Structure 1
Amino acid sequence: MAFRLMGMYRRFKPHLLMVIAQIGYTFLYFITEASFNHGMNPHVYITYRHIVGGFAMLPFAYFLERKTRPKLTVALFMEIFVVSLLGVGLTLNMYFASLRYTSPTFLASMVNTIASLTFVMAVVLRLEVLDIRSRRGIAKVLGTLVSLAGVMAMTLYKGPIVRELGHPFIHVHGKTSIKENWLKGSILTVASCISWSIWYIMQAFTLKRYPAQLSLTTWMSFVGAAQSAFFTVIVAHKPSDWTIGFNIDFWSTLYAGVVMSGMVIFVQLWCTEKKGPVFVTMFNPLSTILVAVLAYFVFGERLYMGSIIGGVIVIVGLYLLLWGKEGDQQQEMKPKVQSCSSYEEHKAPKEEP
């Protein structure tokens, strides 16, 4: 019994870790929005966040991977520089800037496009197996198309506002000061999703040459922070933009740095190495559901019918893709089972005639 439970834990460990990561993302949306409403500059926030994340992961990377960490060459550092630019410097600056013009629910919903984009890129680069003659292969293609249709519905159809069921539990101060600009916000969000998808694909290649997740997480945090600081100095000229007090700005930076830029990025790198980049992106709908529920029931945020319809379509499509993806895992396990059987047969003593 214990052996069976351990086997199930090992099999579903990546799934469990990704669920925990998505819960972390859910809280990130609201903590970050509250900080931005308080006056925190998004670009300064990204810079500070990754400095905190780098220092949080540095001791673990130095001591735990001291003997296994590959030598860092100039070519490998340049590759990490590009990966950091896609994952931090470029992507997150566009992503969190779009939060000023949309909402956490819209942002969390649009992130679901990353799974479909990553899947298409992975198939083109032969990181993902696609057999359109099988049911699971058809499910992958159909799931990708359905999820993209759901995203289009969310973007193009806003629909009527869902009637509030009661008073929100928490009132977010400063919400009225944020002006909605859905066109500008949508462009920034889509651009960040495209670069984010490329980032996931590049992680798979980088991990093959630098298989040290803790060290790679630390490098991406520090390099990404430097890139973001360079950009922030250009757009944020006021010294007051760089000043944060012991308030929501401090706590949001600390949470995002330690939990998100540190632990969650490490979890994603580990899962990417074990299961591939497409698997990691397939859990994004979970945070979409959690964000929508919290935004509507707890914070009293407006919920549009278009977001509900599009979100349901996206989730159906992505879990079609997940079902098709599980077929790859079953095929990968067959050779291992056969090799174990052959080993046991070879190891067993032959009976005397």
Structure 2
Amino acid sequence: MASRPSRDKTPTPKGQEFMEELKFKTLGGAWKDLKAASEDMRSLISENPTNAKEIYAKWKGKYELFLTINDEYSEILDEESKAEHRDKWYDERDTYITNIKAKMEDWFACKSEEVKSTPKAASKAGSESSICSKTSSMRLAEVTRERELVERTKLLRERQALEKKLKLLEIKLQHQAESHEIERKLAESRGRSQVLEEIEENSQCLEDEDLEDGSIASKQNSKVFTKEWDARPRKTEVRRPSNMKARNLKKAYLEQYTVEEAHKIVVGFSYLDAAVGYPAAIKELQRRYGDPEIIANTYVKRVLNWPSIRADDPKALDELAVFLKECEAATRCVGGLGYWSFLRT
């Protein structure tokens, strides 16, 4: 007959919790008995010194029982709960009992020296008392050192726990930052998709002739303007082709006179026909750069970062005057710039 497999004796969470409560209750009872015996031991020994060893033996038995129950309770705890039990409950009580034990051992050592003394050695009583006092001092020093080591161990555990929490917090913040970045890019992508969808819907209402003219003009834009405008009056009117409509011309100008990031945005809409691409490009530029606060901050930043000008440098003074005129014009036509109207002076 095949033997039955042994059952897993691992307790359930409720069973584990019940065992911990039962063991801790037993440990608490043992501690109460030990503390009461510790408080009564000194008075009992003072009243009846001849029974000191018997009284101390009973106290020591309760102390051993307390240690045994504490070990049994610690065995059923996990590492984190065990460390918390030591820090918050056991270490303080162990230090208290250790001090009492050290004092009792010193007392017995002194009594033993007194019993062994002879009449001949009576003259050496002062020396023996000094030895007893020295022994007691050494014992007290060891107890103090042990207490310091316990405190250092406690501080080390607290520091390790804090470092662990900080590491987990750092990882959590990093994950949140990555999640926010992904959400931002996703929202931006959805916004672009919505704009393109609206543009596509609007483009269906255009006439076939306008679509054809817009496509031809869009392909010819790179050939129409090959150089930047140098501010000579009516130069652009001379270069305007006869077959280009107003919308195509506006889109071509927009591509010609934008640079860097703004130029990339305009080029992104250049593959659409002018009737659709130009309003979409203007809308995107307005969304990104049409905020009066951004314009105001840009002008203020340029003024604050303007290089130093010497009095004998007419060219630099002229450049500053032109820029200040630009600022004066901006305060009249751009909303939200009144707070830096000092640029007019």
TM-score by length of 2: 0.23
Give the structure with higher Rg (CA): 2
Higher helix share: 2
Q: Greater RCO between the two (CA within 8 Å, min separation 6)? A: 1
